[in-house]
Every structure is written in C-alpha cells, then in structure tokens.
Amino acid sequence: MVPRVIRYTEIKSAETCHYDAIALGEVMLRFDPMDVPTSHAKMMRVFQGGGETNVACGMAYTFGLRTAVITALVDDDIGRNIRDQLRAAGVDVSKIIWFNTNNDGSRFSTDQKGSLMNGINFTFAGKGVIPAETVYYRAHTAVRELRENDVDWEQLFSKEGARVFYTGGIYMLISPSSAGLAIQAARLANQYGTMVAADLNYRAKIEPNKAHAREIIRQIVPYVGFLVGNDQDMHDALGYETPVNAEAPYEDWISAYHETLRNIARDFPNLSLIGTQWRGATNADTINWGAILYDTHNDKIYQAPLRTAIPIADRTGGGDSFASGVLAALLNGKDLDTAVQWGAAHGILVQETPGDITMVTLEKVVAEATRAYAAGGVRAIR
C-alpha cells in the first residue's frame, strides 16, 4: 500500500531537519574535448556530473542549501576526484558508499583490475550543425551494485531528517537492482514526512526498450510529490503523448501540453506539482528556452518567459538546474511563480558555462529571472 504522499505545500521546516535535500543517483567523471569531437580530441577538461547529483550540487552551491548525495564509488583516484568536486560544490559527501580495492570478499570490495569502476563519459557539447554527443562507460560501475537495504533510510529520514528526497529515471534504469533501492527510499521518505521529487530523465542509451523503462519508472511515480520531465520524457518514460506538431509555436505546445498534464495528474493523484523545461534547439550553439510548473490541485500552469535565440556553451545539465532552482524556491518558502522563474533562470545559466553545474550565485539567478520577466512577462493558464 502506498503511503500518503507529501505535497509541496507540506515540506518540513528547516529547523526540524539536518538536510534540506538528499539525492540518490549516479555520478560520473566527464571528459570534455572542448571545441572538437571526442574522436579528434588531443586535450580534455574534466568535470563531475550526474542527472540526480547535479541537483544536489546546484541547491548547495548556488542556493546555499544543505544537501547530501547517496551514490557509490570505487576508492581510487577517479573516485576521489569526483568526491572532491562534489565537496567543492558544497555537497555533504559523507553518505557516499565506497568500494575498497582490497578484493577482500566483503560486500563493498573489488580488485585493482577494474572489475568494478567509477563511471566516466566523454561529452562533446556540439558546434553549429554538429550535434552534441556523449559516449558512456558505465556497464561495470560501483553504483550499479547498490540494492535495497544498502542505505539506512531510517537513519536519514527519521533521525537526521530531510526535507526533500530526489532521484530520477537515469538511476532507476542503470541496473536490475537500482529501482528497488530508489522505490524503497521514496516509500520511507513519505512515511517520515519527506517530499519526494523525481526527474523522469529517460535515456535510450541506458534502456532502449521504452516499454520496459515505463514498467520500471511507473513504479516510483505513485510515491512522488514533484515530478520533473519534458514532454518527450513524459512519452518515453510514462507513455503520455502530447498531440502537437514538433514545429508548432510555443503557445500552441503549451495549450496541448496542458491536457497531457491533466491526464498525468488524473492517473497519479499523488502528484501535487509537475515541472517541465522546454528546449527548442536551432543548432548546438543557440536555443529557445522555456519552463512551466503545473499545480495539479488548482489545475493552474505557471510559466517563465520564453527566452529565444540564446547563445549557449554547453546544454548539459539544463533540466537538472531547472529542478534545483524550483526546489530551492520551494524550500525557501517562495510561491510557484517565483519557483518557475528561479528554475528557468538557473537552467539557462548552466548552459552558458561548460560543465554539468553552474557554480553561479543566487544573485545571478535572481538577476536573470528579473531580466527575463521584465522583457517577456508571464501569465497563468487555467
């Protein structure tokens, strides 16, 4: 039986919790070949990044919130590099599960031959008509080994306390056991009054079988209070299609998407908030960027101004930064209009800089939200 799901209006106070947010997910070392495709690269920059952990980083660094990540790493130089980058973003890394390299036969042990490894990817941001491209090495990563009961959720949610628990479709689909741990966490989070937020984040390179992906991801949605995902994710991960032409104007898309949101809210009445970022890419360097929040109880859409023809440096992490901006606003007691503005502003700012996270200040987020709001205006749609 699914417990009563915590709504965004019921988020616990900061004084009652040790953490504002805890994120469960995969984190990888990203190699960035800069201005040439990976196949031609001679030099690369190094970043850390992960669909779920990026949200914890943004909430900590930009918004000053108390976050921690739950993940698994092999205790080697690559693992320590990832840890130190997370630490530099202000994230509590004490909850990371480490696999030693002693090959001692214990549950969290491996050898020094790479039988288990830390995940890495090579991500070229694209240039002009050359699209972005990512190559992943994640088949034998430590985080894939995690399963139910590997994390003491009772300690985290009951004794230490967390206001928000965050995970997503990337983590749920990376191994046969990952979804079980995420669902266990979401169930206990609600039991102890922690709101669950999740990003659908469907990736065909993780699970090409959409039917199988939907079967897995639909298991966690009944535990979620705030669901994040663009309309493509809603189709690929949940099976909801928005009947609108891909070339339709933004306003037509919103009108059609409103019906999709109503259908999702009807089928999952536990959802109190659904967030969507909208990206219209004209080429690898320039995008149109929009964002909406849907209040399911009041059947009301809040939208950020549509930003058009914005030059960007790296599209990776835009959706994650949108989610962290929205959550930061909610955790700071802001209204939904402010939340969608913070989410959209933080989402575009991450795309102006290389890497998965922005490392910008709250002041810059507020300034960008104010600039866009003054230029474009917003309206609520019923």
Mean pLDDT of 11-32: 97
Can you tell me the distance from the alpha carbon of 337 to that of 373, in angstroms, rounded to the nearest whole number? Answer: 11
Under DSSP, the state recorded for 234 is I
Please, which residues bridge with residue 31 across strands? Answer: 46, 122
Task: Express each pLDDT in 347-378 by its tens digit.
Answer: 999 998 888 887 899 999 999 999 998 875 44
What is the mean predicted confidence (pLDDT) over 106-126? 95
Element holding 45 (H helix, E strand): strand 45-49
> Where does the pLDDT of residue 324 fall: very low under 50, low under 70, confident under 90, or very high at 90 and above?
very high
pLDDT digits (tens, 9 = 90+) for 71-101: 999 999 999 999 999 999 999 999 999 999 9
Whole-number pLDDT of residue 126 = 86
- The whole-number average pLDDT for the span 185-213 is 96
pLDDT beyond 90 at 159: yes
CA distances, 311 to each of 281, 284, 286, 327, 358 (Å):
10, 9, 4, 26, 16
Alpha-carbon dihedral sign for residues 110, 111, 116, 118: positive
Type of residue at 215? E
Q: What amino acid is encoded at 378 in this protein? A: V
φ/ψ of residue 88, rounded to 5? -65, -25
Q: How many CA atoms lie within 13 A of 209 on its CB side?
A: 6
Higher pLDDT, 283 or 24: 24
Positive or negative: CA dihedral 331, 345, 88, 196 = positive
Q: What is the pLDDT of residue 74?
A: 98
Give the three-state DSSP class for 38.
helix
CA distances from 255 to 251, 274, 380 (A): 6, 15, 12
- On whether the CB atoms of residues 196 and 223 are closer than 8 A, the answer is yes
- Ranked by mean pLDDT, the top range of 7-16, 241-250, 284-293 is 7-16
Confidence of residue 115 (pLDDT cuts 50, 70, 90): very high
Query: How many C-beta neighbours within 10 Å does residue 133 have?
Result: 14
For the domain covering 8-376, report its CATH number: 3.40.1190.20
Structural domain boundaries in the chain: 8-376
Greater confidence (287 vs 273) lies with 273
Given a cut of 70, whether residue 341 has pLDDT beyond it is yes
Closest CA to 14 of 200, 216, 207, 161: 161
The predicted pLDDT at position 379 comes to 46
DSSP 236: I
Tokens of 288: 């149109």
The stretch 321-328 carries a mean pLDDT of: 97
In the chain, pLDDT over 90 holds for what percent of residues?
82
Q: Is the pLDDT of residue 381 over 60?
A: no
pLDDT, tens only, 22-74: 999 999 999 999 988 999 999 999 999 999 999 999 999 999 999 999 999 99
| Mean pLDDT, residues 223-252 taken together | 90
d(CA 195, CA 274): 13
- Per the prediction, the chain carries an average pLDDT of 93
- Confidence at 284, pLDDT banded by 50, 70, 90: confident
Q: What is the pLDDT of residues 307-317, one digit of tens each?
A: 998 888 888 88
